[in-house]
Homo-oligomer: A and B are copies of this chain.
Amino acid sequence: MRDIVIGMSDGLTVPFALAAGLTGAIASSRLILTAGFAEIAAGSIAMGLGGYLAARSDAEHYASERRREEAEVVTVPEVEAQEVSDIFKTYGLTETESASVVQALRQRPANWVDFMMRFELGLEKPVPGRAFKSAFTIALAYVVGGIIPLGAYLVLADAHRALKVSCAVTLLALLVFGAVKGRFTGTSMWRSGLQTTLIGGLAAAAAFGIARMIS
Protein backbone atom coordinates (compact mmCIF):
# COMPACT_ATOMS: atom_id res chain seq x y z
CA MET A 1 0.00 0.00 0.00
CA ARG A 2 2.82 2.38 0.95
CA ASP A 3 4.64 1.47 -2.28
CA ILE A 4 1.50 2.13 -4.35
CA VAL A 5 1.12 5.61 -2.90
CA ILE A 6 4.81 6.49 -3.31
CA GLY A 7 5.00 5.20 -6.88
CA MET A 8 1.76 6.89 -7.83
CA SER A 9 2.49 10.33 -6.39
CA ASP A 10 5.92 10.23 -8.10
CA GLY A 11 4.44 8.90 -11.33
CA LEU A 12 1.94 11.75 -11.39
CA THR A 13 4.68 14.38 -11.22
CA VAL A 14 7.12 13.93 -14.12
CA PRO A 15 4.79 12.73 -16.93
CA PHE A 16 2.39 15.55 -15.92
CA ALA A 17 5.17 18.16 -16.01
CA LEU A 18 6.54 16.83 -19.29
CA ALA A 19 3.11 16.88 -20.99
CA ALA A 20 2.38 20.36 -19.62
CA GLY A 21 5.82 21.52 -20.73
CA LEU A 22 5.43 20.20 -24.26
CA THR A 23 2.07 21.96 -24.56
CA GLY A 24 4.15 25.17 -24.33
CA ALA A 25 5.82 24.16 -27.61
CA ILE A 26 3.49 21.77 -29.48
CA ALA A 27 -0.24 22.05 -30.23
CA SER A 28 -0.80 18.37 -31.12
CA SER A 29 -2.02 16.04 -28.38
CA ARG A 30 -0.70 13.04 -30.32
CA LEU A 31 2.99 14.03 -30.02
CA ILE A 32 2.51 14.90 -26.36
CA LEU A 33 1.00 11.47 -25.74
CA THR A 34 3.93 9.81 -27.52
CA ALA A 35 6.42 11.69 -25.31
CA GLY A 36 4.30 11.10 -22.20
CA PHE A 37 4.03 7.33 -22.68
CA ALA A 38 7.73 7.08 -23.60
CA GLU A 39 8.52 8.87 -20.33
CA ILE A 40 6.26 6.53 -18.36
CA ALA A 41 8.03 3.51 -19.86
CA ALA A 42 11.48 4.96 -19.16
CA GLY A 43 10.64 6.30 -15.69
CA SER A 44 8.91 3.16 -14.42
CA ILE A 45 11.78 0.93 -15.58
CA ALA A 46 14.42 3.25 -14.12
CA MET A 47 12.53 3.49 -10.81
CA GLY A 48 11.42 -0.16 -10.55
CA LEU A 49 14.47 -1.98 -11.91
CA GLY A 50 16.85 0.55 -10.32
CA GLY A 51 15.16 0.13 -6.94
CA TYR A 52 15.14 -3.66 -7.24
CA LEU A 53 18.83 -3.95 -8.12
CA ALA A 54 19.78 -1.50 -5.34
CA ALA A 55 17.76 -3.54 -2.79
CA ARG A 56 19.39 -6.76 -4.00
CA SER A 57 22.84 -5.20 -3.60
CA ASP A 58 21.89 -4.13 -0.06
CA ALA A 59 20.78 -7.69 0.76
CA GLU A 60 24.07 -9.10 -0.54
CA HIS A 61 26.02 -6.45 1.35
CA TYR A 62 24.16 -7.50 4.52
CA ALA A 63 24.92 -11.19 3.93
CA SER A 64 28.64 -10.60 3.32
CA GLU A 65 29.00 -8.30 6.36
CA ARG A 66 27.16 -10.91 8.44
CA ARG A 67 29.58 -13.65 7.35
CA ARG A 68 32.46 -11.35 8.33
CA GLU A 69 30.98 -10.68 11.78
CA GLU A 70 30.28 -14.41 12.28
CA ALA A 71 33.93 -15.17 11.54
CA GLU A 72 35.20 -12.34 13.74
CA VAL A 73 33.32 -13.37 16.90
CA VAL A 74 35.11 -16.73 16.57
CA THR A 75 38.59 -15.65 15.40
CA VAL A 76 39.04 -12.31 17.25
CA PRO A 77 36.49 -12.35 20.12
CA GLU A 78 38.57 -9.92 22.22
CA VAL A 79 38.51 -7.30 19.46
CA GLU A 80 34.75 -7.73 18.98
CA ALA A 81 34.13 -7.54 22.74
CA GLN A 82 36.10 -4.29 22.81
CA GLU A 83 33.90 -2.98 19.98
CA VAL A 84 30.78 -3.64 22.06
CA SER A 85 32.33 -1.70 24.97
CA ASP A 86 33.21 1.13 22.57
CA ILE A 87 29.59 1.37 21.35
CA PHE A 88 28.42 1.84 24.95
CA LYS A 89 31.24 4.37 25.58
CA THR A 90 29.71 6.65 22.92
CA TYR A 91 26.64 6.74 25.24
CA GLY A 92 28.81 7.73 28.22
CA LEU A 93 29.03 4.25 29.82
CA THR A 94 32.26 3.02 31.44
CA GLU A 95 33.69 -0.42 30.60
CA THR A 96 32.67 -1.62 34.06
CA GLU A 97 29.05 -0.58 33.50
CA SER A 98 28.79 -2.38 30.15
CA ALA A 99 30.85 -5.42 31.22
CA SER A 100 27.88 -7.67 32.08
CA VAL A 101 26.21 -7.06 28.70
CA VAL A 102 29.50 -7.70 26.88
CA GLN A 103 29.94 -10.91 28.89
CA ALA A 104 26.38 -12.05 28.20
CA LEU A 105 26.70 -11.45 24.44
CA ARG A 106 29.96 -13.45 24.36
CA GLN A 107 28.05 -16.46 25.64
CA ARG A 108 25.49 -16.22 22.79
CA PRO A 109 27.35 -15.92 19.45
CA ALA A 110 24.18 -15.74 17.24
CA ASN A 111 22.72 -12.90 19.32
CA TRP A 112 26.13 -11.25 19.43
CA VAL A 113 26.29 -11.19 15.63
CA ASP A 114 22.72 -9.78 15.48
CA PHE A 115 23.76 -7.08 17.94
CA MET A 116 26.88 -6.11 15.95
CA MET A 117 24.95 -5.97 12.65
CA ARG A 118 22.40 -3.59 14.13
CA PHE A 119 24.42 -1.51 16.61
CA GLU A 120 27.93 -1.48 15.14
CA LEU A 121 27.10 -1.45 11.42
CA GLY A 122 23.56 -0.03 11.56
CA LEU A 123 22.29 -2.61 9.04
CA GLU A 124 18.71 -3.95 9.03
CA LYS A 125 18.02 -7.57 8.12
CA PRO A 126 16.49 -7.56 4.61
CA VAL A 127 13.11 -9.29 4.20
CA PRO A 128 13.45 -12.00 1.48
CA GLY A 129 11.28 -11.38 -1.59
CA ARG A 130 10.31 -7.91 -0.44
CA ALA A 131 12.66 -6.13 -2.87
CA PHE A 132 11.03 -7.62 -5.96
CA LYS A 133 7.45 -7.09 -4.81
CA SER A 134 8.14 -3.55 -3.69
CA ALA A 135 9.95 -2.57 -6.92
CA PHE A 136 7.22 -4.12 -9.07
CA THR A 137 4.46 -2.36 -7.12
CA ILE A 138 6.22 1.02 -7.33
CA ALA A 139 6.79 0.64 -11.10
CA LEU A 140 3.17 -0.36 -11.71
CA ALA A 141 1.86 2.51 -9.56
CA TYR A 142 4.16 4.86 -11.51
CA VAL A 143 2.51 3.72 -14.76
CA VAL A 144 -1.00 4.18 -13.34
CA GLY A 145 -0.06 7.57 -11.84
CA GLY A 146 1.48 8.66 -15.14
CA ILE A 147 -1.66 7.81 -17.13
CA ILE A 148 -3.80 10.20 -15.03
CA PRO A 149 -2.29 13.46 -16.44
CA LEU A 150 -2.29 11.99 -19.97
CA GLY A 151 -5.99 11.10 -19.89
CA ALA A 152 -7.09 14.58 -20.97
CA TYR A 153 -4.73 14.44 -24.00
CA LEU A 154 -6.25 11.09 -24.98
CA VAL A 155 -9.74 12.59 -25.08
CA LEU A 156 -9.06 16.14 -26.37
CA ALA A 157 -7.14 16.58 -29.64
CA ASP A 158 -6.42 20.27 -28.89
CA ALA A 159 -3.42 20.19 -26.55
CA HIS A 160 -4.10 23.59 -25.00
CA ARG A 161 -7.61 22.61 -23.90
CA ALA A 162 -6.28 19.24 -22.73
CA LEU A 163 -3.62 21.02 -20.64
CA LYS A 164 -6.26 22.88 -18.60
CA VAL A 165 -8.17 19.68 -17.84
CA SER A 166 -4.92 17.80 -17.16
CA CYS A 167 -3.77 20.50 -14.69
CA ALA A 168 -7.06 20.44 -12.77
CA VAL A 169 -7.24 16.63 -12.58
CA THR A 170 -3.54 16.10 -11.80
CA LEU A 171 -3.14 18.83 -9.19
CA LEU A 172 -6.17 17.42 -7.37
CA ALA A 173 -4.75 13.88 -7.65
CA LEU A 174 -1.36 15.12 -6.34
CA LEU A 175 -3.11 16.73 -3.36
CA VAL A 176 -4.96 13.50 -2.54
CA PHE A 177 -1.99 11.14 -3.02
CA GLY A 178 0.37 13.57 -1.26
CA ALA A 179 -1.99 13.55 1.72
CA VAL A 180 -2.20 9.74 1.75
CA LYS A 181 1.60 9.59 1.37
CA GLY A 182 1.87 11.86 4.44
CA ARG A 183 -0.10 9.30 6.45
CA PHE A 184 2.35 6.54 5.52
CA THR A 185 5.54 8.55 6.01
CA GLY A 186 4.43 10.18 9.28
CA THR A 187 4.13 13.78 8.02
CA SER A 188 0.91 15.77 8.47
CA MET A 189 -1.56 14.98 5.67
CA TRP A 190 -2.30 18.58 4.72
CA ARG A 191 1.34 19.47 4.60
CA SER A 192 2.37 16.44 2.56
CA GLY A 193 -0.54 17.01 0.16
CA LEU A 194 0.36 20.66 -0.41
CA GLN A 195 4.08 19.85 -0.78
CA THR A 196 3.42 17.15 -3.36
CA THR A 197 1.13 19.51 -5.30
CA LEU A 198 3.74 22.29 -5.10
CA ILE A 199 6.50 20.02 -6.46
CA GLY A 200 4.27 18.88 -9.35
CA GLY A 201 3.16 22.43 -10.11
CA LEU A 202 6.67 23.88 -10.04
CA ALA A 203 8.06 21.04 -12.16
CA ALA A 204 5.29 21.58 -14.73
CA ALA A 205 5.80 25.37 -14.77
CA ALA A 206 9.57 24.97 -15.25
CA ALA A 207 9.10 22.40 -18.02
CA PHE A 208 6.53 24.68 -19.73
CA GLY A 209 8.93 27.67 -19.56
CA ILE A 210 11.91 25.69 -20.87
CA ALA A 211 9.97 24.13 -23.75
CA ARG A 212 8.53 27.50 -24.80
CA MET A 213 12.00 29.09 -24.64
CA ILE A 214 13.57 26.43 -26.88
CA SER A 215 10.86 26.20 -29.52
Instruction: Give chain A's interface residues, CB within 8 Å of chain B.
Output: 10, 13-14, 17-18, 21-22, 24-26, 30-31, 33-35, 37-43, 45-46, 49-50, 53-54, 57, 61, 88, 91-94, 96-101, 103-105, 108, 110-112, 114-115, 119, 122, 124, 185-187, 191-192, 195, 198-200, 202-204, 206-211, 214-215
Contacts and interface: CB of A to CB of B under 8 A. Distances in A.
B37 A214 contact: yes
Given A101-B93, A119-B119, A204 B42 contact: yes
A33 B91 CA distance: 55
Majority SS of interface residues in chain A?
Answer: helix
Give how many copies assemble into the complex.
2
Nearest to A104: B97
7 interchain residue pairs of minimum CB distance = A17-B42, A21-B38, A97-B104, A92-B111, A38-B207, A41-B206, A45-B203
Contact of A101 (B18, B24, B54, B97): B97
Nearest to A98: B101
